[in-house]
Amino acid sequence: MDPLNEQAPDSVLAAPPSDQIPNDGTGVVALDPYLEPYKPALRSRFSKAKQWLDTINSTEGGLEKFSRGYETFGFTVSPDGTITYREWAPSALRAYLVGDFNGWNRDSHEMKRSPFGVWEISLPPVNGKPAIEHDSKIKISMVVPNDQARAERIPAWIKRVTQDLSVSPIYDARFWNPPQKYVFKNARPKKPASARIYEAHVGISSPEPKVATYKEFTQNTLPRIKHLGYNTIQLMAVMEHAYYASFGYQINSFFAASSRYGFPDDLKELIDTAHGMGITVLLDVVHSHASKNVHDGLNFFDNSDHLYFHEGVRGRHALWDSRLFNYGHHEVLRFLLSNLRFWMEEYQFDGFRFDGVTSMLYTHHGIGTGFSGGYHEYYGPNVDEDGIVYLMLANEMLHNLYPDSITIAEDVSGMPALCIKLSLGGIGFDYRLAMAVPDLYIKWLKEKQDIEWDMGALCHTLTNRRYGEKTIAYAESHDQALVGDKTLLFWLCDAQMYTNMSTDSEFTPVIERGMALHKMIRLITHGLGGEAYLNFEGNEFGHPEWLDFPREGNDNSYHYARRQFNLPDDHRLRYRFLNEFDSCMQWMEEKYGWLHSPQAFVSLKNESDKVIVFERAGLLWIFNFHPSSSFTDYRVGVEEAGTYRIVVNTDRPAFGGLNRIQDETRYFTTDFSWNERKNFLQVYIPTRTAMVLALEPTLDPNWKANVSLGF
């Protein structure tokens, strides 16, 4: 047995009763006995987390108050219009507030320093109005130790920054204090039992070669997501980042929503509208590193190398060319935890996908490290215990204050207990990303013939996940869409993507194969791969091109920095078939709930026939990956007796199929054990097709009408 991921017998995996859970962080050992030798490390990180909680409780009044740092630091406005500005900059000798409001006089508004290095100034209202005009430019000007030079910086807690590239790439800080505050109309949706996640980037969400806006996303993209049946959106590149082509991963202003796409209220309207549709909205949060920018970032903020970051080499990421936070510092914890709380409160996000978690877990940041699955890799000197403890605190805060919030970890290492709650000694995430799944598909499409696909290896990769830790399965995310790689459909059909995706053109073997496998890969990933599902926008219909942001290397072109939603809208193109199949999958999951059902029972992995059969959520899933062989009266096992009907069929004409499988067929079980199941039934499964069968009593009354529409 592979101790990393294979399921052990239930007898050793049952969690102890709550009154028997040890209060030292080792409760997770009851879920995974292979952790027994690492109890000291588990105790150490748990003890450090408890120490931080005790410290925060005694000095700050608890996590709830501590995480409201944005109500104290940065700019706050009292009911009478008094503006107070506070900034932590202990290395500064003197500090001044400058901006449009005082004609950029560097000496007129000096700030006072607290013993802890926090600078403060209050500006009373002028003629009954705030002394600083809404949306005017501001900065903090500090006298720093090096020859008492001046260092002018964008405030660290600023809530809006703007960039005028015709003047300079450096951002301007804005005092954001609109006279009319946005009022949310819709409550947050309940936490979905099954998270079907649509990963999206506002700027590319248009077929036009431009930076799309929050408002355009609200008007044009949200209805698409709702039609497709996704109940969760994961928004990328919202936190203001220094460089558009960084895909949002070089953050310079952590509390500012990117002004590239519009105003803060436009983002609030987007989230509010999504909530009105019953859609949960997650933020792709980047706390793993920060932009190294000095003039409009946190780097050398008070002219010291160690304010928010580790000093020297430890504070720099060799591959990302960015700064690394010191998670063991009190004020850094205040800043990061308050940042999470701010996005939850101010913008009403419902949770976070934490980027770059592997970098946060290890002192080597995953650089040059191939994780073999040996438990020794997750403990010892290479582990960044401060980073782990920060993530423990973040998850504890979010789940206590927002019980319906969702947190997702992007970790390639397979760290045990990543998605186990803190009380058991876990780090506390809700989900981890199954990053090995898309890698397998790309590797096979690059290196193997279809007949060489290994059904056992496919099932193993899709089911190889840690017991009790929920996993998000996906066939491809934004990582596989980036320039230099290809989307799955591009790998499958690139020779004819631009010539034969029209229904007026020949339905060639290349296109037939590509569309068939595109649907089958998605369906088996959805059904077998995890407890949630993710898709990157555009890939639901087989987006034909990679993603490349405007940069010097492509003459600053927006041609590939867009999603061509016009393709599935054109009824002469075959992309619409893939789009509607994706919608069928999501809505059928909504009905049957397989993602929040127990893991599937795989009854057949036939290597010669290339057939996979499994059951999950009372449904029978049948896949024939054989590139040329179809099978008549193919016997498959099923546990529950009864009459079955098709609810998902990749071969439907509405999905671009060849209509070889008749949806009206009724399948009757025979009381005879087969493949470790109590019954069997017989089906016709043409080459490169898949179907999902449900017991007849579970069908909707309008089942026949749905079939005629494609689902």
Asked about 355 being catalytic, the answer comes back as yes
Q: What residue type is assigned to position 32 of the chain?
A: D
**CB-based burial label for 706 (10 Å; 0-12, 13-18, 19+):** middle
Would you say 665 and 696 are in contact if contact means Cβ atoms under 8 Å apart? no
Of residues 410, 540, 548, 580, which has the active-site annotation? Answer: 410
The 10s digit of each residue's pLDDT in 249-258 is 899 999 999 9
Domain boundaries, the chain: 10-66, 78-174, 598-709
Domain spanning 78-174: which CATH class is it, in words?
mainly beta
d(CA 543, CA 541): 6
Residue 705 has pLDDT above 60, yes or no: no
Which residue did the predictor score with more confidence, 1 or 362?
Answer: 362
Checking if the pLDDT of 224 tops 80, the result is: yes
What is the structure's pLDDT at 6? Answer: 35
- pLDDT beyond 90 at 371: no
Nearest Cα residue to 7 out of 32, 25, 30, 26 = 32
The pLDDT of 265-270, averaged and rounded, is 98
Nearest to 327 by CA among 378, 290, 277: 290
DSSP code, position 8: P
Q: How far apart are CA 406 and CA 351, in angstroms?
A: 5
Can you read off the two tokens belonging to residue 577? 């078939």
Q: Is 632:683 a contact under the CB 8 Å cutoff? A: no
- 330-346 and 385-401 helices, crossing angle to 10°: 30
Overall average pLDDT of the 471-478 stretch: 93
Nearest to 417 by CA among 9, 28, 20, 14: 28
In tens, the pLDDT along 665-694 reads 999 999 999 999 999 999 999 999 999 999
pLDDT for position 11: 30
Task: Give tens-digit pLDDT for 160-219.
Answer: 999 998 888 899 999 999 999 999 999 999 999 999 999 999 999 999 999 999 999 999
Phi, psi values for residue 423, rounded to 5°: -60, -25
Q: Using 50, 70 and 90 to split pLDDT, how confident is the model at 15?
A: low
Across 354-375, average pLDDT: 92
Q: 107: buried, middle or exposed (CB in 10 Å: 19+, 13-18, 0-12)? A: exposed
The single-letter DSSP state of residue 547 is B
Most confidently predicted of 275-289, 463-477, 540-554, 693-707: 275-289
Residue 369 reports pLDDT greater than 90: no
pLDDT digits (tens, 9 = 90+) for 277-302: 999 999 999 999 999 999 999 999 99
Backbone angles phi, psi at 44, to 5 degrees: -65, -50
Residue 710's pLDDT band (boundaries 50, 70, 90)?
A: low
Task: Give the per-residue pLDDT at 426.
Answer: 97
Count Cα neighbours of 122 within 13 Å in the Cβ-side half-sphere. 8
In DSSP notation, 325-353 reads: B-TTSHHHHHHHHHHHHHHHHHS---EEE
CATH architecture of 598-709: Sandwich (2.60)
Alpha-carbon gap, residue 223 to 533, rounded angstroms: 19
What's residue 487's pLDDT?
Answer: 87
SS3 546: coil
Q: Which residues pair with 218 in a beta bridge?
A: none
Sign of the dihedral defined by the CA atoms of residues 24, 28, 29, 35, in that order: negative
Place of tokens 């490290």: 369
Q: Active-site residue 410, yes or no? A: yes
Averaged pLDDT score across all residues of the chain? 94
Catalytic residue (choose from 302, 350, 355, 545): 355
The DSSP H or E segment spanning 399 is helix 385-401
State yes or no: pLDDT of 711 exceeds 60: no
Q: Give the integer Cα–Cα distance in Å for 11 and 4.
A: 18
CA 478 to CA 246: how far, in whole Å? Answer: 13
Domains 78-174 and 598-709 fall in the same CATH topology: yes
Phi and psi based region of residue 536 (left: phi greater than 0; alpha: psi -120 to 50; beta: remaining):
beta
Contact 228, 586 (CB under 8 A): yes
Q: What is the CA radius of gyration of the chain?
A: 27
- The mean per-residue pLDDT over the stretch 348-366 comes to 96
